[in-house]
Amino acid sequence: MQNKTTKGLSLFMMLVLEGAFFSSAFCTSVQDSLTSKEAIYGGCQLLGGSISYSYSSFPGTSQSVTTVSLSPAYLYFSSPTFAIGGQMVFESVTSSQGNSNTTTSIFGFGPAIRYYFSFSKILSFASAGLFTQKSKVSSGSTLVASGSNSSISIGLGMDFFLSNALSIEPIIQYQVSLQSRHVRTVLIGVSVASFIK
Protein backbone atom coordinates (compact mmCIF):
# COMPACT_ATOMS: atom_id res chain seq x y z
CA MET A 1 0.00 0.00 0.00
CA GLN A 2 2.86 2.37 0.79
CA ASN A 3 4.44 1.69 -2.64
CA LYS A 4 1.24 2.76 -4.40
CA THR A 5 1.09 5.97 -2.36
CA THR A 6 4.74 6.70 -3.10
CA LYS A 7 4.33 6.14 -6.83
CA GLY A 8 1.17 8.22 -6.93
CA LEU A 9 2.78 11.13 -5.11
CA SER A 10 5.87 10.93 -7.32
CA LEU A 11 3.80 10.92 -10.52
CA PHE A 12 1.65 13.81 -9.29
CA MET A 13 4.67 15.96 -8.44
CA MET A 14 6.26 15.15 -11.82
CA LEU A 15 3.09 16.19 -13.69
CA VAL A 16 2.81 19.44 -11.73
CA LEU A 17 6.45 20.48 -11.59
CA GLU A 18 7.99 19.05 -14.73
CA GLY A 19 6.52 21.82 -16.88
CA ALA A 20 7.88 25.36 -17.24
CA PHE A 21 8.70 25.04 -20.93
CA PHE A 22 10.08 27.95 -22.92
CA SER A 23 10.49 28.20 -26.68
CA SER A 24 11.35 30.97 -29.10
CA ALA A 25 10.71 30.85 -32.84
CA PHE A 26 12.30 33.02 -35.51
CA CYS A 27 10.44 33.23 -38.84
CA THR A 28 11.98 34.56 -42.03
CA SER A 29 9.01 35.58 -44.22
CA VAL A 30 8.46 37.79 -47.25
CA GLN A 31 5.21 39.13 -45.82
CA ASP A 32 5.14 42.71 -44.45
CA SER A 33 3.47 41.52 -41.23
CA LEU A 34 3.00 38.22 -39.43
CA THR A 35 -0.31 36.55 -38.72
CA SER A 36 -1.02 33.15 -37.21
CA LYS A 37 -1.09 31.79 -40.79
CA GLU A 38 2.17 33.42 -41.83
CA ALA A 39 3.90 32.40 -38.60
CA ILE A 40 4.06 28.82 -39.85
CA TYR A 41 4.44 29.66 -43.53
CA GLY A 42 6.78 27.49 -45.62
CA GLY A 43 10.37 28.67 -45.30
CA CYS A 44 10.06 29.83 -41.69
CA GLN A 45 12.52 28.66 -39.07
CA LEU A 46 11.86 27.81 -35.44
CA LEU A 47 14.55 27.98 -32.79
CA GLY A 48 13.23 26.91 -29.43
CA GLY A 49 13.34 24.37 -26.68
CA SER A 50 12.20 23.61 -23.18
CA ILE A 51 13.35 23.85 -19.58
CA SER A 52 11.86 21.51 -17.01
CA TYR A 53 12.25 20.81 -13.30
CA SER A 54 10.83 18.02 -11.17
CA TYR A 55 11.19 16.97 -7.54
CA SER A 56 9.93 13.62 -6.21
CA SER A 57 9.87 12.59 -2.53
CA PHE A 58 9.02 9.21 -1.06
CA PRO A 59 6.93 9.17 2.15
CA GLY A 60 8.46 7.21 5.00
CA THR A 61 11.99 7.47 3.60
CA SER A 62 14.72 10.08 3.25
CA GLN A 63 14.95 9.47 -0.50
CA SER A 64 14.29 12.19 -3.07
CA VAL A 65 14.92 12.64 -6.79
CA THR A 66 15.55 16.01 -8.47
CA THR A 67 15.57 16.36 -12.27
CA VAL A 68 16.62 19.40 -14.31
CA SER A 69 16.35 19.26 -18.10
CA LEU A 70 17.19 21.59 -21.02
CA SER A 71 16.00 20.69 -24.53
CA PRO A 72 16.89 23.09 -27.39
CA ALA A 73 15.36 22.45 -30.81
CA TYR A 74 15.50 23.71 -34.41
CA LEU A 75 12.70 23.27 -36.97
CA TYR A 76 12.35 24.37 -40.58
CA PHE A 77 8.89 24.75 -42.13
CA SER A 78 9.12 22.93 -45.47
CA SER A 79 5.41 23.65 -46.01
CA PRO A 80 2.78 25.82 -44.28
CA THR A 81 1.82 22.92 -41.97
CA PHE A 82 4.92 20.72 -41.67
CA ALA A 83 8.26 21.38 -39.97
CA ILE A 84 11.30 19.13 -39.65
CA GLY A 85 14.53 19.57 -37.74
CA GLY A 86 16.45 18.36 -34.73
CA GLN A 87 16.51 18.54 -30.96
CA MET A 88 18.94 18.00 -28.11
CA VAL A 89 18.56 17.12 -24.45
CA PHE A 90 20.77 17.97 -21.47
CA GLU A 91 19.51 16.42 -18.25
CA SER A 92 20.76 15.98 -14.69
CA VAL A 93 19.05 13.57 -12.28
CA THR A 94 20.17 13.62 -8.64
CA SER A 95 19.00 10.90 -6.27
CA SER A 96 19.55 11.59 -2.58
CA GLN A 97 19.15 9.27 0.37
CA GLY A 98 20.56 10.41 3.70
CA ASN A 99 24.10 11.66 3.08
CA SER A 100 24.43 9.73 -0.19
CA ASN A 101 23.98 11.48 -3.55
CA THR A 102 24.04 9.87 -6.97
CA THR A 103 23.93 11.99 -10.13
CA THR A 104 23.03 10.82 -13.62
CA SER A 105 24.05 13.14 -16.48
CA ILE A 106 22.30 12.64 -19.81
CA PHE A 107 23.02 14.04 -23.28
CA GLY A 108 20.68 13.24 -26.16
CA PHE A 109 20.07 14.29 -29.75
CA GLY A 110 17.88 13.32 -32.67
CA PRO A 111 15.37 14.35 -35.34
CA ALA A 112 12.05 16.09 -34.60
CA ILE A 113 8.93 16.90 -36.61
CA ARG A 114 5.79 19.00 -36.07
CA TYR A 115 2.53 19.10 -38.03
CA TYR A 116 -0.12 21.83 -37.71
CA PHE A 117 -3.81 21.03 -38.15
CA SER A 118 -5.39 24.42 -38.91
CA PHE A 119 -4.81 28.06 -39.85
CA SER A 120 -6.99 29.73 -37.21
CA LYS A 121 -6.07 31.98 -34.30
CA ILE A 122 -5.70 28.82 -32.20
CA LEU A 123 -3.37 26.42 -33.99
CA SER A 124 -3.23 22.75 -33.01
CA PHE A 125 -0.19 20.61 -33.68
CA ALA A 126 1.24 17.14 -33.22
CA SER A 127 4.93 16.54 -32.62
CA ALA A 128 7.26 13.56 -32.59
CA GLY A 129 10.94 12.98 -31.92
CA LEU A 130 13.60 10.30 -31.64
CA PHE A 131 16.47 10.57 -29.17
CA THR A 132 19.79 8.81 -28.89
CA GLN A 133 21.02 9.34 -25.34
CA LYS A 134 24.32 8.85 -23.57
CA SER A 135 24.45 8.82 -19.78
CA LYS A 136 26.99 8.81 -16.98
CA VAL A 137 26.28 7.88 -13.36
CA SER A 138 28.53 9.26 -10.65
CA SER A 139 28.60 9.16 -6.86
CA GLY A 140 30.49 12.19 -5.65
CA SER A 141 33.54 12.43 -7.93
CA THR A 142 33.53 8.68 -8.72
CA LEU A 143 32.20 7.42 -12.07
CA VAL A 144 29.93 4.49 -11.32
CA ALA A 145 28.57 3.57 -14.75
CA SER A 146 27.96 4.82 -18.29
CA GLY A 147 25.74 3.73 -21.15
CA SER A 148 23.50 4.71 -24.04
CA ASN A 149 19.80 4.44 -24.83
CA SER A 150 17.22 5.57 -27.37
CA SER A 151 13.69 6.86 -26.82
CA ILE A 152 10.78 8.15 -28.84
CA SER A 153 8.31 10.90 -27.94
CA ILE A 154 4.96 12.06 -29.27
CA GLY A 155 3.06 15.17 -28.24
CA LEU A 156 0.00 17.32 -28.78
CA GLY A 157 -0.21 21.07 -28.28
CA MET A 158 -1.80 24.37 -29.26
CA ASP A 159 -0.60 27.88 -30.06
CA PHE A 160 -2.83 30.59 -28.57
CA PHE A 161 -1.74 33.81 -30.32
CA LEU A 162 -1.66 36.87 -28.07
CA SER A 163 -0.51 38.96 -31.02
CA ASN A 164 0.61 38.38 -34.60
CA ALA A 165 4.02 37.23 -33.40
CA LEU A 166 3.54 35.92 -29.85
CA SER A 167 1.73 32.81 -28.63
CA ILE A 168 1.25 30.71 -25.51
CA GLU A 169 1.80 27.02 -26.16
CA PRO A 170 0.44 24.32 -23.80
CA ILE A 171 1.76 20.87 -24.67
CA ILE A 172 1.61 17.29 -23.40
CA GLN A 173 4.26 14.74 -24.33
CA TYR A 174 4.54 10.99 -23.91
CA GLN A 175 8.01 9.43 -23.98
CA VAL A 176 8.93 5.75 -24.21
CA SER A 177 12.43 4.38 -23.71
CA LEU A 178 13.49 1.76 -26.26
CA GLN A 179 15.62 -0.12 -23.75
CA SER A 180 14.47 -3.47 -22.31
CA ARG A 181 12.57 -1.88 -19.37
CA HIS A 182 10.62 0.51 -21.67
CA VAL A 183 10.36 3.33 -19.11
CA ARG A 184 7.42 5.65 -19.82
CA THR A 185 7.26 9.36 -18.93
CA VAL A 186 4.45 11.94 -19.21
CA LEU A 187 5.40 15.63 -19.49
CA ILE A 188 2.92 18.52 -19.23
CA GLY A 189 4.00 22.13 -19.72
CA VAL A 190 3.29 25.59 -21.09
CA SER A 191 5.67 27.47 -23.37
CA VAL A 192 5.88 30.94 -24.88
CA ALA A 193 6.62 31.04 -28.62
CA SER A 194 7.56 34.17 -30.52
CA PHE A 195 7.44 34.29 -34.32
CA ILE A 196 9.68 37.04 -35.65
CA LYS A 197 10.36 38.20 -39.21
Domain containing residue 90: 2-196
Section 123-134 average pLDDT: 89
**Sheet containing 122-139: which strands, arranged edge to edge?**
25-26, 184-196, 166-177, 142-161, 122-139, 100-116, 82-97, 63-77, 45-57
pLDDT at 127: 94
Higher pLDDT, 120 or 116: 116
CATH code for the domain in which residue 133 is found = 2.40.160.20
Look up residue 186 and give its amino acid: V
Band of pLDDT at residue 85, cut at 50, 70 and 90: very high
Comparing 110 with 149, which gets the higher pLDDT? 110
Number of domains comprising the chain = 1
What is the average pLDDT value for the chain, to the nearest integer? 75
